[in-house]
Chains A and B, each alone.
Chain A
Amino acid sequence: MAKFDVEEVMAELRERIIKEQMRPGNLQYATYYYRRMIQRLSEKKELVIFGAGKYGQGVLDVLRLERIGTIACFCDNNDKMIGTCIQGVEVLSLHEATKRYADACYIVTPIDYENEILQQLLCAGIKSENIVIYNTRNTGMVIG
């Protein structure tokens, strides 16, 4: 009998989830808003997640589960976050992100700061068709 090891079993289960192509969009609790959003994001060539906190990281998890692999970086206003790496994705300042990824689609994730961030992105020269407000509360994915 093989010795049970939590991490080994978790790795095995995660591999199976990837292999079986399980996607959150297939779950019954995924909302129409969520499905449309994922479809839209999957059509974009390059994505920048604005906000490297709880909501931004949640979006990264979801995009990975949906097999959307075009994430260029995080972008954040918090000096403490800039220069760090979250789950293999670099966190850049707004200035640096817009310089490197001027034509990317920017996903605004922080809840309650949408207007301020939208304004920042427009002022930084990002076209409005390349800005997506991702409201986690509307997706059915996260509670609270």
Chain B
Amino acid sequence: MNKIAFVVQRYGLDVNGGAEYHCRVLAEHMTVLYRVDVLTSCARSYTPWDNFYLSGVERLNDVNVYRFPVENIVDSVLLDNLSRRFKSGDREVEEQWLQERGPYCPALIAFLEANADAYEAIIFFTYDYYPTVKGISLHLKNSILIPTAHDEPLIYYPIYEDVFRSAKAILYNSVEEKEFVIKQFRTDTKPSRLTCVGIDIPNDTDELPQRLQEYQDNYIVYVGRVSKSKNFCELNRDFIEYKKRNPSSLKLLVVGKIDEQMPLLYSEDIIYAGFVSDSEKTAIIKNAKLLVMPSLYESLSLVILESMAVRRPILVNGRCAVLKGQCIRSNAGLYYTNYFEFEACLNYMLSKSDEYTQMCDNGYRFVTEVYDWNQVVQNVNSLIKEIVASTV
């Protein structure tokens, strides 16, 4: 069996993060065709990076995981200072910034340099961290980038021009991501494919955890990091305003880790369920009226696909091109760009039962047609074969 490798900043069953989870499920599914190695850091946390896992090799769900130590821990003050000096285009400042941003794992890069030819393809996850930036800059003939890019301030840093230029091929998560990356980095001549993740239709229990049963069928749900970067503050504010203007017993159930120093507005209508297991998460989504996603920066939201997979419609922030695009393509929910639209969409979805059922069915159909794992694996494999053929 031929070998492929994934390079990602963190990897593990208990690692939080959409891109890291995406990497893990894709790596595991690719084991049907390849021997899969993952090259990653020893970190479990990224705020700051740590060396939680032991360095060395571990076998995890048929994947060989090679972990390399993080050599320095982020100094946030220094990183901030470097970020301010970034616009100067000084290469030395950029290099220092990248190391500080981390996870700084020079041993991973050295391993890659020595062993790259042993792999049919090396798939780099996320455009922005040290392992991808330094790894892809080795100009490997078999590099594939899964950028998970979106229109955020970071992507305009000059250092990332090289990342997109050096990648031999690109796997995009959405039409909007592809259009944005092509416009920004002129990558249209590179081999590429669209859709590199699948969704399994869960067969887990429908039953809500005991502690949440009093809210059964009477809540909308947010699943994700409770952080400013996910625009949770806006949802927090909008839901409180909604309840003042539309009195009812409806709750907002919040699933996910709350970031430190996160300013939360108190409301007895917002229930924090904390971090839950995958099966609990599925049950919570299944029992919700709908899933709401306020995030502005996404290259793909797996949780909205998971919601569609259990026939729950979505309400997404229309100021995020990817979420809006997925909403329109799936016809499985509505999108808002300001408070009044949030209120109008929510009232519409809660009151129109026929249309609600159609949204549920549309979402399920969309996910099973577009995000089927067999097709995704073949899609990724066809790109690997294309770059292998081009290097012979």
Chain A residues with a Cβ under 8 A of chain B? 1-7, 9-10, 13-14, 16-17, 22, 24, 27-29, 61, 65, 143-144
Contact = CB atoms under 8 A, between A and B. Distances in A.
A4 B331 contact: yes
Contact of A7 (B237, B328, B338, B362): B328
Contact of B344 (A5, A16, A61): A16
Pick the 4 closest A-B CB pairs, nearest first.
A4-B358, A143-B233, A13-B344, A22-B340
Contacts of B231: 143-144
A29 B344 contact: no
B333 A6 contact: yes
Contacts of A13: 334, 341, 344-345, 348
Contact of A6 (B334, B337, B338, B341): B334
B354 interface: yes
Considering residues A7, A13, A24, which has the most beta carbons from chain B within 10 angstroms of its beta carbon? A13
Given A6-B334, A10-B334, 12 more contacts: A2-B355, A4-B362, A6-B333, A7-B328, A14-B341, A17-B340, A29-B237, A29-B240, A61-B337, A65-B338, A143-B231, A144-B233
B68 interface: no
Interface in B327-365: 327-328, 331, 333-335, 337-341, 344-345, 348, 354-355, 358-359, 362
A140 to B, nearest CB: 8
B139 to A, nearest CB: 30
B356 to A, nearest CB: 9
Q: Looking at chain B, what size class is its interface with the partner chain?
A: 20 to 34
B183 interface: no
24 contacts: A1-B354, A2-B355, A3-B358, A4-B331, A4-B355, A4-B358, A6-B334, A6-B335, A9-B348, A9-B355, A10-B341, A13-B334, A13-B341, A13-B345, A16-B344, A24-B338, A24-B340, A29-B240, A29-B241, A61-B338, A65-B340, A143-B228, A143-B233, A143-B234
A3 B352 CA distance: 12
B358 A6 contact: no
A29 B362 CA distance: 35
B59 interface: no
Contacts of A143: 228, 231, 233-234, 237
Contacts of A28: 241, 244
Contacts, number: 56
A27 B238 CA distance: 10
A24 B341 CA distance: 11
Interface string B212-239: 0000000000000000100101100100
A9 B341 contact: no
A10 B241 contact: no
A27 B246 CA distance: 13
Nearest to B358: A4
A15 to B, nearest CB: 10
B131 to A, nearest CB: 29
A2 B359 CA distance: 12
A27 B339 contact: yes
A29 B331 CA distance: 31
Given A1-B354, A17-B344, A29-B241, A24 B233 contact: no
| Among B241, B244, B340, residue most surrounded by chain A Cβ atoms (within 10 Å) | B340
Contact of B334 (A9, A22, A29): A9
B35 to A, nearest CB: 43
A10 B348 CA distance: 10
Contacts of A3: 358
A94 B13 CA distance: 54
A125 B320 CA distance: 38
A3 B357 CA distance: 11
Contacts of B237: 29, 143
Given A27-B339, A28-B244, A143-B234, A6 B327 contact: yes
Nearest to A142: B234
A3 B358 CA distance: 8
Contacts of A17: 340-341, 344
B228 to A, nearest CB: 6
A9 B330 CA distance: 14
B228 A144 contact: yes
Contacts of B331: 4-6
Nearest to A16: B344
A29 B242 CA distance: 11
A9 B318 CA distance: 14
Nearest to A14: B341
Interface string B3-15: 0000000000000
Candidate in B234, B334, B338 with the most chain A CB atoms within 10 angstroms: B338
A16 B334 CA distance: 15
Contacts of A2: 355
